[in-house]
Amino acid sequence: MAELTGLALIIGVPARLLLFMPTSTRLHFKTVRTLFEGNDGGIYKTINGGTNYTDLSNGLVISQLYRIGVSQTNSSTVMTGLQDNGSKIFTGVWSDVKGGDGMECIVDWSTTTYMYATYVEGQISRSINSGTSFPTDISANIPGGQPEGAWVAPYVMSPSNSSTLFAGYDKVWKTVNRGDSWTSASQVLSSVNKLRAIAIAPSNANVLYAASGNSMWKTIDGGATNWAVVTPPTTINSITYIAVKNTDPNTLWITYGGYTAGEKVYKSINGGAHGQISQLDFPICRS
């Protein structure tokens, strides 16, 4: 690379900014040239040609969190997935545990031994040592190899058996052994846009909802038979998330992206039956 003196250069994706200080200083009769690097994670400095960097990012509120996973057995254990900043775990201090883009993350609700972190389009990694490492790519065990999912592909853990997970791509896949093997748990639901949301009822693990764009489906048998179509509100925007009431599998909320005022949060009290999903008046959610 050509030497940069007081010149900003944008390279790569995500963009990084490299900047040499315009002047050099003398330290113990050696020329010290300082290089600053800016990226989605913050600002860093090296004075030895990149052998070591000093993090100068303290105080910068710049991270974009996609998802958060909280341990149900230890409130001090938290995972998060971040745009271009990988997956991190908090156990008193924050630690980087998986690189690239960090997406949905889950801490096993029965123990902190098992954790899951994801990369783009549904690549799921498993840890069996409380997040020290994530060596096992469990989504590669899906029949046919790693399927292509949405940018932030959804997956959920069963509330009745923590060894059981459901993952959404163009269809839903199910594992009962923490990802060692998978079986189909739905027909093809969304071959083009891929599934963006999956929710499982806390009070009945056989009831799940899935969504892609403005389409939605439901199963009441854990995916043993074909999922039924649910008719959500008519809007040009896409469903971004589904939440199910902890005591009632037929009460659910769905959220929409986009910038249409008044079309953000909707509620159903009968499992999303046609014509029975009502808009909630949450002005704070409007753009």
Predicted local distance difference test score (pLDDT) of residue 91 = 93
Instruction: Please provide residue 88's backbone torsions phi and psi, each rounded to the nearest 5 degrees.
Output: -130, 155
Strand partners, 79: 69, 89
Domain range for 21 is 9-55
Q: How many domains does the chain have?
A: 1
pLDDT of 287 above 80: no
> What average pLDDT does range 202-216 have in this prediction?
96
Residue 47 lies in a domain: yes
Instruction: State the average pLDDT for the chain.
Output: 86
pLDDT of 23 above 60: no
Q: Which two tokens stand for residue 263?
A: 């079309």
Q: Which residues of 9-32 are buried (b: 16+ CB within 10 A; e: fewer)?
A: eeeeeeeeebbbbeeeeeeeeeee
Predicted local distance difference test score (pLDDT) of residue 13 = 31
Q: What is the pLDDT of residues 104-125, one digit of tens each?
A: 999 999 999 999 999 999 999 9
Its pTM surpasses 0.95: no
Q: What is the pLDDT of residues 34-61, one digit of tens each?
A: 888 888 778 888 888 888 889 888 888 8
Residue 222 lies in a domain: no
Query: In this structure, are residues 76 and 92 in contact, taking their beta carbons and an 8 Å threshold?
Result: yes
- Identity of residue 260: T
Q: Which residue has the higher pLDDT, 12 or 194?
A: 194
Predicted local distance difference test score (pLDDT) of residue 21 = 65
Instruction: Please provide residue 69's backbone torsions phi and psi, each rounded to the nearest 5 degrees.
Output: -125, 130
Q: Measure CA of the first residue to CA of the last residue in the chain; give whole Å.
A: 45
Residue 283 lies in a domain: no
Residue 239 lies in a domain: no
Residue 116 lies in a domain: no
Residue 171 lies in a domain: no
pLDDT of 273 above 90: no
Q: What is the pLDDT of residues 215-251, one digit of tens each?
A: 999 999 999 999 999 988 888 899 999 999 999 999 9
Long-range contacts, 112-119 (Cβ 8 Å, 24+): 112/71, 112/73, 112/74, 112/77, 114/162, 114/178, 115/69, 115/79, 115/89, 116/69, 116/155, 116/165, 116/179, 117/79, 117/81, 117/87, 118/81, 118/87, 118/153, 118/155
pLDDT of 4 above 60: no
> What average pLDDT does range 241-270 have in this prediction?
91
Long-range contacts, 209-216 (Cβ 8 Å, 24+): 209/242, 209/244, 209/252, 209/272, 210/154, 210/168, 210/172, 210/186, 210/242, 211/239, 211/242, 211/254, 212/150, 212/238, 212/239, 213/238, 213/239, 214/238, 214/239, 215/189, 215/190, 216/254, 216/272
At residue 283 the predicted structure's pLDDT band, cuts being 50, 70 and 90, is: very low
pLDDT of 277 above 70: no
pLDDT of 159 above 80: yes
Query: 28 — alpha (psi -120 to 50), left (phi > 0) or beta?
Result: left
Predicted local distance difference test score (pLDDT) of residue 275 = 52
Residue 37 lies in a domain: yes
Predicted local distance difference test score (pLDDT) of residue 92 = 92
Residue 13 lies in a domain: yes
Q: What is the pLDDT of residues 174-184, one digit of tens each?
A: 999 999 999 99
Predicted local distance difference test score (pLDDT) of residue 7 = 35
Q: Which two tokens stand for residue 114?
A: 């098992």
Predicted local distance difference test score (pLDDT) of residue 31 = 61
